[in-house]
Structure 1
């Protein structure tokens, strides 16, 4: 495997220098991943300052290993404050502190138990008609135009509307929720600017105020929505604190659409690039499920998740991770590991070796995975049924936010 020209590799120290903003890498990270698999499935990424795992087995095993976890040593605030003065991130940090995504048992277990019932497959399945109806309504709105940006007009409104309705906040606030979410997730990119940080903080404050306003309404007029559940649920006699309530609601609203938007856009791009009639991938529910699963593997919406090391772990002969270290798990690389997937860079729905780690694994396995799968199966089946001659009108480009791997726009045409 030839080394990509933008990647610098020290084979003795297993160190990589690779700017995650490098345009060629942003548009096609799989070239670098192929090099990693061949030469350094475990490497130190100098630009981030931590070790990374690229092989499927290492990523899958580490997700499940309780010697690694999401919660930062000393807690979220102690960890971030050690990086320097952060008063300009007061509201962002407050929103993140109580997020179940950043916690480990027993706190994580308590919070996750409160919301888990709404996301189990049998409950989510009831939302299929709603997802299909939304897809039809959106296409009705733009079909006559002959061309549209599918990210804005289709991929974003469906998951944003459904999660807003599940939470019990007005569906018409969906675009605002998406805007706040986009601002906040920029904090996970490599070296966000001061402007990025201040915008994320402002959006976190606005988002938190929004949740508190609607929570106050639900206390007076509870319903069967998730916000009411979070307010009233008790686990071992405890209610959520106000900050936990806000953090949990923000996490669910953000996670309820962010990755699904990216994955829907990536999936449409992938399927259109196969050529031929796209309906062939969605003729039956079984084909739809297999096609969506392969889309999740082939071009995942999230390419890195980090873990903190809690105990000394020998990850490979002569290579030991020590408590306090942070490591990166490369999901996009794991999903295209040639030692685990036959012809990994080929799109093959129904493949016998389907076992992607796009939604993670272990106790932090994505709680919204059943919902994301359903939304994509329903939306894509309707899209290609209604517009079977859909085609790319412009070459799509990925946004420059490694971790989150999604298109900035997806302009298509038909007719």
Structure 2
């Protein structure tokens, strides 16, 4: 295997999801860093300019009518963090910060990572193959259950994979060419949120500070506000995680980096960050301009929809190379920047690290290889539909 092989597979992943849009966005970004696209908005494709927009929370907001936050308000209510701006948003982030410390996220992820390890060992020791995509969906579902405040063996609790599928059904309502949700789509999203929120409401009412909903109640949030925040975390984080982790593992396996990390894990952080940079699990971010001005010399009018092409901004910096430092203008750009930098980043990184540790531990005991893979087609977030690992002969 080689870097060229890894990069060919990544291109297949992107083209499978967006066979026309991906090459169009990449080609437009190569022509001009900022471009007005009739009917869609202003496309920004250079990392420095993308970061500038994200840092300017006064002129470019997330809760506008065609920005990503505004899309979710009919589904999760007006106070779900992802659709807030200004002083109210800053205050809520401050209150939530203690819920995403290293100790807090480790507590959330640990039971799911134990289950992941058991699944990987069972499937590789028995049938000899394990579908990593399916495993990561179960991991994400396990984390969702912890966020909902639902213990593993609660009667009537949805299985982990069904919890993931429910969250995914909400996030899949979004499309780049769809500035707002239709009433039918919003109703579908609210129905899914209510299924998720049912057990979380019980945990909120119990007020147990050991649960995530109980902690939100302790912070003084109303029940509806707490449900909106929990639903937003479920929607925004799970699908990108399930997209990224199998792609991370494929990149590291295709380039021979798995063997290097088994021998020396000090390079894990650089390998994960470069994989995030190269795969860009959040390929596009949306903002609304609320004041006239310009971006990179292009005139922007109040009300313009701003399309931030993180996919071009990050990938245009070069091929996959964990040994090369990521330029400052692109560092962690896939998690955003400024007031809306992803508050759940520590949780996502804990899930990523836990999965990679399980696979490295297994490889050290008995090496595995990628036996088969299938790219997902016509999906919002590019990824693999299946990535099977098998014991090496």
Normalised-by-shorter TM-score class: 0.7 to 0.9
**Superimposed CA distance per residue, residues 316-337 of structure 1 (whole angstroms, 9 cap, x where no aligned partner):** 33x2111111111111111123
Q: Give how far 1:104 is off.
A: 0.5
Aligned to 2:133: 151
Q: Judging changes above 3 Å, is the alpha-carbon distance between structure 1 residues 37 and 93 closer, same or farther for their aligned structure 2 residues?
A: closer
Aligned to 1:305: 285
Pairing of 1:31-70 with structure 2 (within 5 A): 32=24, 34-46=26-38, 49-66=40-57, 67-70=59-62
SS at match of 1:408: strand
Q: Judging changes above 3 Å, is the alpha-carbon distance between structure 1 residues 358 and 50 closer, same or farther for their aligned structure 2 residues?
A: same
Pairing of 1:204-243 with structure 2 (within 5 A): 204-220=190-206, 222-234=208-220, 239-240=221-222, 242-243=223-224
Aligned counterpart for 1:245 among listed residues 226, 240, 263:
226
Q: Judging changes above 3 Å, is the alpha-carbon distance between structure 1 residues 190 and 320 closer, same or farther for their aligned structure 2 residues?
A: closer
Pairing of 1:78-227 with structure 2 (within 5 A): 93-125=74-106, 130=111, 132-143=113-124, 144-152=126-134, 154-171=135-152, 173=158, 174-190=160-176, 198=184, 201-202=187-188, 204-220=190-206, 222-227=208-213
SS at match of 1:145: coil
Tell me whether 1:295 sits opposite 2:257 in the alignment: no
Q: Give how far 1:106 is off.
A: 2.6
Asked if 1 retains the 8 angstrom alpha-carbon contact of 2:74 and 2:186, the reply is no
Bigger helix share = 2
SS at match of 1:411: strand
Alpha-carbon separation, structure 2, partners of 1:381 and 1:76: 33
TM-score, normalising length from structure 1? Answer: 0.77
Question: Which ranges of structure 2 fall in alignment gaps of 5 or more residues?
Answer: 1-12
Deviates further, 141-150 or 124-133: 124-133
Asked if 1 retains the 8 angstrom alpha-carbon contact of 2:150 and 2:203, the reply is no
SS at match of 1:102: coil
**Superimposed CA distance per residue, residues 121-151 of structure 1 (whole angstroms, 9 cap, x where no aligned partner):** 3543556754653332121231121223211
Alpha-carbon separation, structure 2, partners of 1:127 and 1:249: 14
Question: Which ranges of structure 1 fall in alignment gaps of 5 or more residues?
Answer: 1-20, 81-90, 339-343
Query: Higher relative contact order at CA 8 Å, sep ≥6: structure 1 or structure 2?
Result: 2
Aligned to 2:351: 375
Tell me whether 1:398 sits opposite 2:376 in the alignment: yes
Asked if 1 retains the 8 angstrom alpha-carbon contact of 2:149 and 2:199, the reply is no
Alpha-carbon separation, structure 2, partners of 1:285 and 1:256: 26
Tell me whether 1:409 sits opposite 2:386 in the alignment: yes
Alpha-carbon separation, structure 2, partners of 1:163 and 1:300: 23
SS at match of 2:374: coil
Aligned to 2:338: 362
SS at match of 2:163: helix
Alpha-carbon separation, structure 2, partners of 1:356 and 1:157: 26
Alpha-carbon separation, structure 1, partners of 2:196 and 2:315: 40
